[in-house]
Amino acid sequence: MKKIVISGLATALMLSAASLTYGAELTIESWRNDDLTIWQDTILPAFMAANPDIKVTFAPTAPAQYNAALNAKLEGGTAGDLITCRPFDSALDLFNKGQLAPLNELSALDNFSDVAKSAWTTDDGSTTFCVPMAAVIHGFIYNKDAFAELGLSEPETQEEFTAVLDAIKADGNYIPMAMGTLDQWEAAAMGYQNIGPMYWKGEQGRLGIINGTEKLTDPQWVKPFEVLAEWGQYLGDGFEAQGYPDSQTLFTLGRAAIYPAGSWEITGFNNDADFELGAFRPPLPNAGDKCYIDDHTDIAMGLNPASPNAEAAKVFLDWMGSEEFAQLYSNALPGFFSLSKHAISLDDPLANEFISWRSECDSTIRSAAQILTRGGTPNLWSGMWTASANVINGTQTPAEAAAELQAGLESWYEPQQ
């Protein structure tokens, strides 16, 4: 007994001595508690193998509590050294309050495009304060077995897309598309923002609204609503009372043929669906048009200026811009794609399909994400939820929906007045 105690004490001493030999210990604040094992088993060991004098711990909080918990920790001075950044205003707020350090001198940032950095850069574009990690891409996931059974192929254009939907509907064995409007968010994120960039030409349209040179009532912004208005007839019975988890289940049970998606669904669908999955990008308005995809920036990493280990943290942030990190992260979390310029190869075929669109199309982010949802009431992004759901439900015409969004934006956003 005594021996065990002594040897236990000895081990403890050795362990604490071992940890003293590390140069620095870093802690990562994050809301991705789902990814804990991936960080612990895959990502951090790779970094620590290359940098043995730096010890990194991943310490996530539950997503819903992250913002509040992080604020409390930052204000109390107990926050970790590295801080996972939410996109746009919530990270910008932290930077403005001096709770995120500017990272302009970090060479790793050169490995990211301006669109990738836009979510964590000040409005004037002068300072970037987080290293972009991952984006999610919108598109459509479909049931390959169902398509084979009905002799259908992936649609390229809107016309072909409608033909495919009509064929599935005529056959009657499958619900053409799995989507509901109860939660409204699906209608906006997987509907309007999914197909919209093709019409408003990605960044051109998004910046046009921000600069005030385009209006939400312009044809390129109304047209996607007109396409959505057609969707209602292809959704399942009672789609008005169908929520987001209902749609996911409907598709993975094999009862629906197409699922308007975001790439974050990949892991879940791979686990739940027992048929072969394929993906096609949002349909082109006309054959031969240039294509634009919604490649929405979602997650990044910043530096706590109060950190005593800033130098070590910068080493870690620099590594996050490397090809090794991009490769590791994108493969561990299929569907969350590294935002770096490195060409990465993915093992998951579905994730590969999504990321291949980056080379064919121009990327943009959700049109309402930057600046346009700042402070004002009514909120443009929430407005898009309601408007898109109304248009699909058929309770509002596309023109009315667009006019309401425009009026709401004009009421507080100066460049649009």
Partner 1 sequence: MTKALTNKKRPFRWHILVFLAPAALIYTVVMILPLAETLRLSFFHVDTTTREVTFIGLDNYKELFFNVNWVGPFFRALWNNFYFFIIHMLVQNPIGVMIAALLSMFHLPGKKFYRTAIFMPTLLSFVIVGFVWKLMLSPLWGVSKGLLTSVGLGSWFMPFLGREETALTTLAFISVWQFIGIPMMLIYAALLSIPEEVIEAAECDGVTGFAQFFKIKLILILPTIGIISILTFVGNFNAFDLVYTTQGALSGPNFSTDLLGTMLYRTFYGQQTQPGDPNMGAAIATMMFLIILVGVAIYLFFIQRKLTRYEM
Q: Is 288 in the site for partner 1 (CB under 8 A)?
A: no
Q: Is 270 in the site for partner 1 (CB under 8 A)?
A: no
CB of 322 to partner 1, least distance (A): 31
Among residues 8, 52, 219, 238, which is the contact residue for partner 1, using CB under 8 A?
238
Contact track, partner 1, 83-112, x by CB under 8 A: -----xx---x--xx---------------
CB-nearer residue toward partner 1: 24 or 365: 365
Segment lying near partner 1 (by CB under 8 A), choices 140-148, 306-314, 322-330, 379-387: 379-387
Cα 371 from Cα 88, distance rounded (Å): 8
Q: Is 298 in the site for partner 1 (CB under 8 A)?
A: no
- Tokens 């010890």 correspond to 55
CB-nearer residue toward partner 1: 43 or 250: 250
CB-nearer residue toward partner 1: 90 or 213: 90
Backbone dihedral region of 145: left (phi > 0), alpha (psi from -120 to 50 degrees) or beta?
A: alpha
State the sign of the Cα–Cα–Cα–Cα dihedral 45, 51, 52, 58.
negative
Cα 268 from Cα 51, distance rounded (Å): 34
Ranges within 217-236 binding partner 1 (CB under 8 A): 236
CB-nearer residue toward partner 1: 342 or 374: 374
CB-nearer residue toward partner 1: 89 or 154: 89
CB of 296 to partner 1, least distance (A): 12
> Measuring CA to CA, how many Å separate 26 from each of 83, 103, 117, 310?
11, 17, 24, 9
Contact track, partner 1, 320-359, x by CB under 8 A: ----------------------------------------
Q: Is 121 in the site for partner 1 (CB under 8 A)?
A: no
Q: Which two tokens stand for residue 292?
A: 């634009």
- Give the helix ranges, DSSP H, for 123-218: 144-150, 158-171, 185-186, 193-200, 203-211
Beta strands 54-60 and 175-177, pairing class: unpaired
Ranges within 155-194 binding partner 1 (CB under 8 A): 180-185
CB-nearer residue toward partner 1: 46 or 182: 182
Count of residues engaged in binding partner 1, rule: CB under 8 A: 41
Beta strands 130-143 and 337-338, pairing class: antiparallel
3-state per-residue secondary structure call for 257-294: EEEEEEHHHHHHHHHHCCCCEEEECCCECCCCCCCEEE
Cα 413 from Cα 375, distance rounded (Å): 10
Q: Is 239 in the site for partner 1 (CB under 8 A)?
A: yes
Q: Is 40 in the site for partner 1 (CB under 8 A)?
A: no
Give the number of other CB atoms < 10 A from CB of residue 281: 25
Cα 300 from Cα 401, distance rounded (Å): 33
CB-nearer residue toward partner 1: 331 or 393: 393
The footprint of partner 1 (CB under 8 A) covers: 88-89, 93, 96-97, 180-185, 236-243, 246, 249-250, 368-369, 373-375, 377-379, 381-382, 385-386, 389-390, 393, 395-396, 408, 411
